[in-house]
């Protein structure tokens, strides 16, 4: 028994050391073979990723005006916004589709929400140009001049990805209307057989610049390339579609947080966390004595492990997420309290210390498991609720509370159990009184009632 506990202790020490190391090194990049694992963010303490409410920034949710918008149309919108926000110089923009017709945009560090909206709201500009190579012998066409040919997005009727009927290679298909077919035919006729090309631009950014093997007159064309993958042709056709037909979107939710206020909120919640932990620790030690001390040590380990998981996943920390975490400190001691109370009762029935601790754990376990699963169920529902409307505060809270509850079961059962058994194997175990809580009115009343109940039974 003792040896097994020592082995567990070594395991716990190693785990905590690794966790502390992974937290202390703000950013790391570990490569094992071809698997690369990089974590950490420069912005937050311990390399944790901070949400918009803590580092300041803009969050916008747009909705397509047309309810029956297709998925590829939404992807076109997403692509457009991605390109626009890149141009905005945001370091880590996050753009994701919500449900079938919404899009969530998070721009950390951006303070001017109006400017961001202006940028995102602009209609996309799709343009075909004629590229004249200065050196016809250069197959790469490094030096060139682009000329307007008056072929814009409105003249394109359709763009879609498919495979070549003969070779099976991924291709992008283009279909023009009458006017578009005329201009495209003239252009391809001019450049056919030369090194000149048609260059396609979206918002002045080049998407692709194919050469033409012959004049294409019917208004239907396809683009193929040696480096074309299915993903690439899909992206190109989504970009072309997005540029051809602007999908109207409206802002349905917006939020911007001032960076200084975010920083202030972070500092305050850290202090709150420390105060909370300190008070809980003080109470546990004064009231539960030795089991209180092991509970506080395992609580400290709990905090380190939760932070580690938050960093590794990685979970973006929001103010609400930190609140969920700090709240889970309060709940995390619950398992320890349950066990200590059970062990105390077992001691009162005259069991030896180690036996009392063991029985305390076994008996308290179903209550710990079931009550925590109930909390985890609410966390999952909360996550769903929050992600329905991009409320990162709600999802952040549910994620950290979930991680916290799951981790607390581990630390209560593995860490504090092992520590308590080890302490009970030392000469300290002679002071049995130190292993039970300070006698309190309510608690002695409970035990008294029990003996009475037992008497009734006999």
Partner 1 sequence: MDFVSKRKWFFIFSAIVILVGIVSMSIAPRFKVGIEFEGGSALSLNFAQEVDEDRLRSFMSDLGHGQAVVQQVGDTGVLIRTTTLEGPDNDGGESERDAIEERLTEEFGTIETSELSAVSEAVAKETIRNAGIAVGVASLFIMIYISFAFRLMANSMRLGVAAIVAALHDVVITLGIFSILGKVIDLEVNAMFITGILTVVGYSVHDTIVVFDRIRENTGRRVSRDMSTTINTSIMETVGRSLTTSLTTLTVIVALLLMGGGTIESLLYTLLIGVIVGTYSSIAIASQLLLVWEERGMNPFRRHEEAEA
Residues 107-126 touching partner 1, rule: CB under 8 A, are: 113-114, 117-118, 121-123
Nearest to partner 1 of 122, 194 (CB atom): 122
Q: Single out the residue of 25, 250, 313, 438 in contact with partner 1 (rule: CB under 8 A).
A: 250
Q: What angle do CA 59, 61, 64 make, to 5 degrees?
A: 155
Q: Give every CB contact of residue 30 below 8 A, 6+ residues apart in sequence.
A: 36, 37, 38
**Ranges within 425-444 binding partner 1 (CB under 8 A):** 440, 442-443
Q: Does 158 bind partner 1 (CB under 8 A)?
A: no
* Sign of the four-CA dihedral 350, 353, 355, 359: positive
User: How many other C-beta atoms are found inside a 10 Å radius of the C-beta of residue 373?
Assistant: 12
State whether residue 29 is helix, strand or coil. Answer: strand
**Ranges within 345-374 binding partner 1 (CB under 8 A):** 345, 363, 366-367, 370-374
Q: What is the residue whose two structure tokens read 């938050």?
A: 310
| Strand partners of residue 148 | 129
Of 27-35, 38-46, 161-169, 268-276: span binding partner 1 (CB under 8 A): 268-276
CB–CB of 402/379 below 8 Å?
Answer: yes
**Ranges within 50-69 binding partner 1 (CB under 8 A):** 53, 61, 63
Measuring CA to CA, which residue among 431, 401, 435, 438 is closest to residue 420? 435
Q: Single out the residue of 213, 268, 433, 438 in contact with partner 1 (rule: CB under 8 A).
A: 268
**Ranges within 286-315 binding partner 1 (CB under 8 A):** 287
Nearest to partner 1 of 95, 181 (CB atom): 95
Q: For residues 210-240, b (16+ Cβ closer than 10 Å) or e, as one string?
A: bbbeeebeebebbbeeeebeeeebbbbbbbb
Nearest to partner 1 of 121, 193 (CB atom): 121
> How many residues of this chain bind partner 1 (CB under 8 A)?
86
Nearest to partner 1 of 121, 150 (CB atom): 121
Q: Single out the residue of 74, 151, 284, 415 in contact with partner 1 (rule: CB under 8 A).
A: 284
Q: Give every CB contact of residue 16 below 8 A, 6+ residues apart in sequence.
A: 301, 304, 305
Q: Does 385 bind partner 1 (CB under 8 A)?
A: yes
Nearest to partner 1 of 194, 378 (CB atom): 378
């Amino acid at each position: 028994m003792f040896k097994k506990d020592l082995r567990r202790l070594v395991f716990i020490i190693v785990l905590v050391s690794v966790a502390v190391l992974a937290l202390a090194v703000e950013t790391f990049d570990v490569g094992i073979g071809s698997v690369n694992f990089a974590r950490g963010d420069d912005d937050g303490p311990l390399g944790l990723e901070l949400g918009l409410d803590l580092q300041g920034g803009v969050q916008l949710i747009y909705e397509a005006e047309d309810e029956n918008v297709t998925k590829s149309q939404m992807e076109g919108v997403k692509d457009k916004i991605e390109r626009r926000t890149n141009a905005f110089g945001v370091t880590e923009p996050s753009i994701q589709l919500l449900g079938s017709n919404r899009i969530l945009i998070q721009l950390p560090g951006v303070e001017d929400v109006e400017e961001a909206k202006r940028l995102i709201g602009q209609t996309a500009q799709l343009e075909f140009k004629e590229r004249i190579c200065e050196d016809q012998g250069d197959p790469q066409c490094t030096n060139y001049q682009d000329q307007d040919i008056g072929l814009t997005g409105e003249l394109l009727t359709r763009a879609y990805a498919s495979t070549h009927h003969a070779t099976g290679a991924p291709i992008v298909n283009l279909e023009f209307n009458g006017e578009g077919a005329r201009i495209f035919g003239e252009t391809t006729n001019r450049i056919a057989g030369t090194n000149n090309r048609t260059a396609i631009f979206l918002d002045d950014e080049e998407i692709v610049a194919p050469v033409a093997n012959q004049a294409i007159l019917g208004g239907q064309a396809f683009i193929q390339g040696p480096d074309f993958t299915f993903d690439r042709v899909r992206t190109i056709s989504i970009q072309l579609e997005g540029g051809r037909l602007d999908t109207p979107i409206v802002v349905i939710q917006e939020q911007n947080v001032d960076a200084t206020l975010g920083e202030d909120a972070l500092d305050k919640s850290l202090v709150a966390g420390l105060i909370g932990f300190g008070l809980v620790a003080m109470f546990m030690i004064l009231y539960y004595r030795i089991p209180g001390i092991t509970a506080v040590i395992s609580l400290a380990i709990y905090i380190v492990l939760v932070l580690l998981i938050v960093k590794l996943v990685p979970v973006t920390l929001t103010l609400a997420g930190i609140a969920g975490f700090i709240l889970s400190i309060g709940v995390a001691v619950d398992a320890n309290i349950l066990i200590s109370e059970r062990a105390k009762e077992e001691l009162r029935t005259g069991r030896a210390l180690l036996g009392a601790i063991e029985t305390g754990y076994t008996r308290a376990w179903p209550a710990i498991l079931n009550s925590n699963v109930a909390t985890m169920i609410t966390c999952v529902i909360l996550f769903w609720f929050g992600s329905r409307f991009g409320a990162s505060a709600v999802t952040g809270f549910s994620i950290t509370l979930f991680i916290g509850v799951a981790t607390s079961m581990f630390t209560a059962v593995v860490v504090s159990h092992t520590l308590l058994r080890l302490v009970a194997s030392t000469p300290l175990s002679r002071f049995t009184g130190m292993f039970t809580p300070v006698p309190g009115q309510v608690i002695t009343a409970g035990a008294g009632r029990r003996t009475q109940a037992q008497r009734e039974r006999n």
